[in-house]
Structure 1
Amino acid sequence: MIHLLIGKPSTGMEKRMQILRARGISLCFLIWVMWSSGCATQPVSTTPATPQFHRSKDYILYRAGPGDTTASLAQRFLGDAELAWMIDDANDAQPFRPDGYVVIPLKIRNRGGVFDNGVQQVPILCYHRFGNHCDSPLCVPEELFERQMRYLKENGYRTISPDDLLGFLEYRSPLPLKSVMITVDDGYSSFYTVAYPILKKYGFTATLFIYTNFVGVSSKALSWNQLRELRAQGFTIGSHTIAHSDLSKKGDNESEEAYMQRLWYEIGDSKKILDGKLNQNTTFFAYPFGRLNSSAIHIAQRAGYKLAATVQRGGNPFFSDQFALQRDQVLKRDMVTFVSHLKIFQPLSLR
């Protein structure tokens, strides 16, 4: 039956067969289901360039034609070009081959990224400043940041938004297997002049955590107009408090009442400022210095945030605490360390 339907498998087809087997799907079974279920099948054409597809309720086996991309196929068969990652993941991001076959999944599965040998996790990278001449570990040289983003692009990583992450953490929607979130703390203008053009070049977005007292104070700080532009371009603006104070403990001679007032001011009022200035509902918060306690978490929840981040190292599986998300600070200037931050899978024995 396979020979009648698709002929001798090409090298690319053999690769896709291996991918399907790795996902517990037999290609023979897939094609048998398509054949026996009376699925929609376009007639086999004698013209190799004519696209053909064979459909079951769960999958499409599609013969790629000239000009096809995962984005165009996602738009055609899934109704949304942004779902191209589903096709990439189903085919292990293998490039299209002339007249080769592509597996297109029709149903969203595995919302939590759970496999029998472990779970998917999302790395969140944390940056601060960028420049040509850096004298602090919190500053990433422009050339290095370019190399890091090029590595992500060339190796199939996709940047995600806080809304994407929230859907994953709430077990509502899956993420691409190679998802990564890029975050930048404080609000330095070097993000706009250095990092922003590089991110646009590679089609990436990021989340900026801003402490509002810093906005527009000098040429070193982002302005409100720049933040509005970034938001319009798909970047997320989150809160990093008003004055960047340590929320995890009372100050010297600070009463319990004054401490709680400060928490509400830093966490709750910063959200109100961002909401008003940027005409948005601010849902993502980052604790200054990554420090937190139960009181800070409680107030962040009551203030209306949906997510909050620390700088504790590690990845984030779907069952992570939404108000204590882990982030890896990018401090060292070598690619080996950078790649070590990109752990997208946590091995676990789930049998």
Structure 2
Amino acid sequence: MEVRRTVPFVDLPAQVAVVRKEIEDRIAQIIDTTSFILREHCQRFEEEYAAFLGAGHAIGVGNGTDALVLALRALGLKSGDEVITAGNSFVATAEAIVLAGGRPVLVDVDPDTHNMEPDRVRAAITSRCRALIPVHLYGQPAPMAELLDLADRHGLAVIEDAAQAHGASYAGRRVGSIGTLGCFSFYPTKNLGAFGDAGAVVTDDADLATRVRMLRDHGGLTADDHDIIGQNSRMDAMQAAVLSVKLPYLDEWNERRRQCARQYAERLAGMADRVAPPVAIDDHVYHIYVVRVPAERRDPLLRYLRQNGIGAGVHYPGPIHRTGAFAHLGLEGRLPIAERLNAEMLSLPMHPALTEDDIDYVCEHLATGLDVA
């Protein structure tokens, strides 16, 4: 079968081409000074990212999962403490709760936004609950006003999982800077991605910021201090340098993603009976562009698109409670919206280098594939 063209799911080479010279210059500085971990390059990015978000502190860590673990540990999570989060996130959200010693409580989600639904959160709060982790899934901000109100009334911390929402805003504030703490992943394919693993914890609370800094570096603020039990989750200087170079481009790249999302929506309007595009309630940054299609057609359609050079995917093949790691929670059938969404979701190519012709090609094959796949 002849493939007319290829439309990758992400296009990192196109992005790297824009910033390559600047990054090479920064990496040369690191090599020359042998400042490989933390130090001035990490501090520079931390200051820049905190300013970008309008937050008091940003602490660079090893990866996004560690960011969540360290945020929970900084709050003093104890064994058996409950933390409520969405059932349809990437497994790392629930995994981090367990790694920090807590018990994940998974709740169902809004069928339109795919984000945690406040009424279900309210029903799940018990005397053992310590924190909420709303997930800004796919780049769509979670309903923070309602969740913050719930947290305030019940004395809970709010940790934003903003791993997919770099630069998104909710009610005029950058996500990640709204709750008690915010957590980011800078995995290479993120809207703001490093050249490897990296993450950050963000907070306005100076005491929590100090505690996270200690926890990421063996329990102290200097090499010879080990005042609490910490771990090794220090940000690599090369990753910090890459992120510093890319950060000034982030708003521009996110706006291009929004333009692509609008173009998708225009072309998908003629398929409204079979394809549901994402619903943007707030300032969505479309880390992943997810549509809903009939469940029985999803997997054949995915194969058809890939056979025609289109880098489609599924995020995620199943909700958290259907993974082997969390099947013991016994939630099968109790999160019906998350289960239905995961059966219907299809992720289409989304990145700033997409062209109108690329989007036309994807949508043409999406329409054909629904009929023939």
Instruction: Indicate whether the TM-score tops 0.5.
Output: no
Higher helix share: 2
Normalised to the residue count of structure 2, the TM-score between the two structures is 0.24
Larger RCO: 1 or 2 (CA < 8 Å, sep 6+): 2
Normalised to the residue count of structure 1, the TM-score between the two structures is 0.25
